[in-house]
Structure 1
């Protein structure tokens, strides 16, 4: 299956979901390029961005599992690049 580069944006409003969120992310560790979390105490939320290189169905599965957690919202964007390596020129 074709691998895609994607970014999942996550907003956590219920901090009771963090342990399960981390457990799910661990299951997809082989696909995660990097992750950045930013707490926003003024609003009582956290914002996480997760960069992935994975098959499309794995990206959708991860995003869906995270989005089903109580107080967790996700949005996924995909790169337009293909599986091919960049051409040297």
Structure 2
């Protein structure tokens, strides 16, 4: 095995450093990462829309019940106590 030196970059004879590319494996890994990020972004967008829709639906449902005189009591509708730590989580 040739030893590294001032004129030897560890490349095959006849190759220069600007002619070396990552090849198919580098392309495949980059393509995989791009596809994975795009799929994660699409999934995240769907989940955010779903949460917003549910919050909007819940708010409109509570408003309609308040107008009709019915009151729904849930633990989530009460304001949190300042300084309180929720149970069951860490």
Which of the pair is proportionally richer in helix? 2
Q: Which structure features the higher share of strand residues?
A: 1
Higher RCO (C-alpha 8 Å, min separation 6): 1
The alignment's TM-score, normalised by the length of structure 2, stands at 0.24
- Give me the TM-score of the superposition, normalised by structure 1: 0.24
Instruction: Decide which structure has the larger Cα Rg and report it.
Output: 2
